Amino acid sequence: MTHGLVFRRATPADAPRMEAIRAAAFASVFASFRAILGDKLYAIVQARDDEAQASMLASMLAQDAAFELFVAEQDGEVRGFVSMQLDAATAIGEVGLNAVDPQYGGRGIGTAMYRFAIDRMRESGMKAATVSTGGDPSHAPARQAYCKAGFTAQIPSVWMCQLLRA
């Protein structure tokens, strides 16, 4: 499934491709959030975070970024990216912003990225790995890939909102 998949540190030259992947992969997520919350509530409580995601990805390329950023290449083309934070003080590794090009979804690339991140965490002396994801239907493929990569202990969470003024 993931034959020929190679992982390497992301470089500024990868930024346009990673941004295109991020935008395509999260379009359905943001649409799901909007559908669940409704337009008015979405605009108040969620839109800013969704819009800030592109800047967050770009910031991960900085020399002093808290997250390490890697790309997954196949046949010489970037198919996805994964970020991770390695906290030496707590020995906890966290999978951060990540995405697979939707054209290549369902081929095991996401699972391979998470396994790569876990291996990197182990090599860095981390004692545990964490990842946060959405519970809505648009995140189902990500949840499935996280489980395949070994993230099986879960604490369910619900984020609730209320529109106070129309």
The pLDDT assigned to 47 comes to 95
158 Cβ contact list (under 8 Å, min separation 6)? 135
The pLDDT assigned to 166 comes to 76
Average pLDDT, the chain: 95
Regions of the chain short of the pLDDT cut 50: none
Q: Is position 1 within any domain?
A: no
The count of structural domains within the chain is: 1
| SS3 (DSSP) at 137 | helix
* pTM of the predicted protein model: 0.93
CATH number at residue 135: 3.40.630.30
Domain that holds residue 106: 6-148
The pLDDT assigned to 165 comes to 87
Q: Is position 159 within any domain?
A: no
- The DSSP line for 42-92 is HHHHTHHHHHHHHHHHHHTTSTT-SSEEEEEEETTEEEEEEEEEEETTTTE
The pLDDT assigned to 127 comes to 98
Q: Is position 166 within any domain?
A: no
